[in-house]
Amino acid sequence: MAQWTSAMGAVQLARLLNSQQDRPAGPGTRRPPAYRALADGIRLLVLEGRVPVAARLPAERELALALSVSRTTVAAAYEALRSEGFLESRRGAGSWTAVPAGNPLPARGLEPLPPEALGSMIDLGCAALPAPEPWLTRAVQGALEELPPYAHTHGDYPAGLPALRAMIAERYTARGIPTMPEQVMVTTGAMGAIDAICHLFAGRGERIAVESPSYANILQLMREAGARLVPVAMAEGLTGWDIDRWRQVLRDAAPRIAYVVADFHNPTGALADEDQRRQLVEAARSAGTVLVADETMSELWLDAEMEGAMPRPVCAFDPAGSTVITVGSASKAFWAGMRIGWVRAAPDVIRSLVAARAYADLGTPVLEQLAVNWLFSTGGWAQAVEVRREQARGNRDALVAAVRRQLPSWEFEVPKGGLTLWVRAGGLSGSRLAEVGERVGVRVPSGPRFGVDGAFEGYVRLPFTVGGAVAEEAAARLAAAARLVESGGAAGGGEAPRTFVA
């Protein structure tokens, strides 16, 4: 059986190779042979995640024709990539991309830093902010007032509290998506929602298409469920989704599930427009794939121009409800400690999820559900989210300015919302930066944690969790780490410290 999970066409690969900017050679520097330049170009595309790992490359003759080079050049480039571990081949199955043996694969993270350690270490691992007070305290107080009637019951509500389900349905309806409470299940955070969906729709060995890069914790959750991840490379910049590439993967790989974050994508911050959402739903429907839309960031628009200008939800383009399952959460827009999420889907899907929950966690904590319901029903949610936007906006602007001052060679685009900045680290190894960063007092997750099988080595993710002088200090420590990596001071034995990602 072939080891590749997606295919890269010759024209598509040629377009990606041609998009790479040639860096001017220094005085006396000789250009590498054509085969070496081609091999380096493909290797860079794999490391950056623009060509997924385990993607079948075009035949030598096809790529030679698309690039207007000799077949001998392509054959020599493929052979160089095989010798370096970036390509594997088998007669009759073709050649597919890989990463060299010994490279650490993205893995689960460690726990967040304990509060007492924050004085000496700046933690940029978690994309999570402190609670937007006084709204957390008020919500809990309101929940306590509503608790007594529920305390006289068994307290198990596998589908969620009826009042909260009705309120979530009402909020979707107000957004122009008619929704009944029977279409909603309350979960223990978005992670609980995705976990339930994966267990219902994608058994061990099933294929799941994911953006590349994508949210690190969800990728790990899917790996541990035994899924075969099929990466779909994101387009350049904040435009995000290459719909032609999605159509090809959905058609060729036939994944059972596709997971997307269309609203201020984690980690890139990209925002899918309405046409991309419509076409993505149509492609999933044609392929018979369940499209899971994670909209946990959807309310975190930060620029004033986005108010009232957000695209309609992905589920708006699936009026029959047969293709899209939507996941929401209070954890990003409100507070990570508020472990309340929800699923919006067709009633029969919700019934199946609820039935399966008897063998998982039985239900979500009642008090927290009452707190979120209090926020929704009193207007406290809107005010709390505005506080959250102000925090994230100020932190984003401070972090962007600090990184531009301290690390001018690092490249990124500033997203209009969300909580994360996706940064190309000036040609340095993100894994080494993460390792050395901990030595100089800053924790940062490396790019490979957000890819499949070691991609995005040249990236790091910076969340909008610090501002002011702390943002400046974080950038200064990252600059110190970068200097150490450049000078070779990153070398060291043992496993590099791993960072929790949220």
Q: Indicate if the alpha-carbon torsion angle 467, 472, 474, 479 is positive or negative.
A: positive
What is the rounded distance in angstroms from the CA atom of residue 229 to the CA atom of residue 223?
7
Closest CA to 385 of 46, 19, 136: 136
The per-residue DSSP string of 418-469 comes to: SSEEEEE-TT--HHHHHHHHHHHTEE--BGGGGSSSS--TTEEEEES---HH
What is the rounded distance in angstroms from the CA atom of residue 18 to the CA atom of residue 36?
15
What is the rounded distance in angstroms from the CA atom of residue 431 to the CA atom of residue 444?
9
pLDDT-flagged residues of the chain (< 50):
1, 22-29, 104-111, 490-500
Question: Is-contact 455 448, C-beta < 8 A?
Answer: yes
Helix pair angle (189-201, 347-357), 10° resolution:
100
Question: Is-contact 347 325, C-beta < 8 A?
Answer: no
Respond yes or no on whether the N-terminal peptide bond of residue 115 is cis (omega within 30° of 0).
Answer: no
Q: Indicate if the alpha-carbon torsion angle 7, 13, 16, 22 is positive or negative.
A: positive
Which helix (H) or strand (E) element contains residue 478? Answer: helix 468-486
Model pLDDT, residue 361: 80
Question: Is-contact 321 287, C-beta < 8 A?
Answer: no
What is the rounded distance in angstroms from the CA atom of residue 39 to the CA atom of residue 382?
52
Model pLDDT, residue 48: 66
Note the pLDDT tens digit of each residue in 76-134: 999 999 999 999 998 888 899 988 866 544 333 334 665 655 567 898 988 889 999 99
Model pLDDT, residue 250: 96
Respond yes or no on whether the N-terminal peptide bond of residue 134 is cis (omega within 30° of 0).
Answer: yes
Helix pair angle (60-67, 71-84), 10° resolution:
120
Q: Is residue 122 helix, strand or coil?
A: strand
Query: Kindly report the CA angle at 50 between 5 and 243, in degrees rounded to 5?
Result: 75
Q: Is residue 212 helix, strand or coil?
A: strand
Amino acid at 369: Q
* Token pair listed for 31: 């250009």
* Token pair listed for 114: 């304990």
pTM comes to 0.82
Amino acid at 246: W
* Greatest alpha-carbon span in the chain: 82
Query: Kindly report the CA angle at 424 between 393 and 87, in degrees rounded to 5?
Result: 140
Closest CA to 176 of 346, 316, 382: 316
What is the rounded distance in angstroms from the CA atom of residue 131 to the CA atom of residue 376?
16
What is the rounded distance in angstroms from the CA atom of residue 315 to the CA atom of residue 289?
14
What is the rounded distance in angstroms from the CA atom of residue 3 to the CA atom of residue 33?
30
DSSP single-letter state for residue 117: G
Note the pLDDT tens digit of each residue in 315-358: 999 998 999 999 999 999 999 999 999 999 999 999 999 998 87
Model pLDDT, residue 375: 98
- For residue 190, CA distances in Å to 8, 326, 339, 407 come to 32, 10, 8, 34
Model pLDDT, residue 350: 97
Cα 410 → chain centroid: 20
